[in-house]
Amino acid sequence: MGRGDQRTKRGKISRGTSGKTRKNPKELKKARAAKKAK
């Protein structure tokens, strides 16, 4: 578990990918907007 581990937030940041542990910033914006609308 560290920088090279794809399953951790750090690993996602170092690779520049997103997923379950690190959501995509664009997706987060949409999710927040949808939650606020409710």
Q: What's residue 1's pLDDT?
A: 75
Q: What's residue 3's pLDDT?
A: 85
pLDDT tens sequence across 14-31? 898 988 888 888 888 888
Residue whose token pair is 């609308």: 37
DSSP result, 1-38: --TT-TTSHHHHHHHT--SSSS--HHHHHHHHHHHHH-
Q: Is the full-model pTM beyond 0.75?
A: no
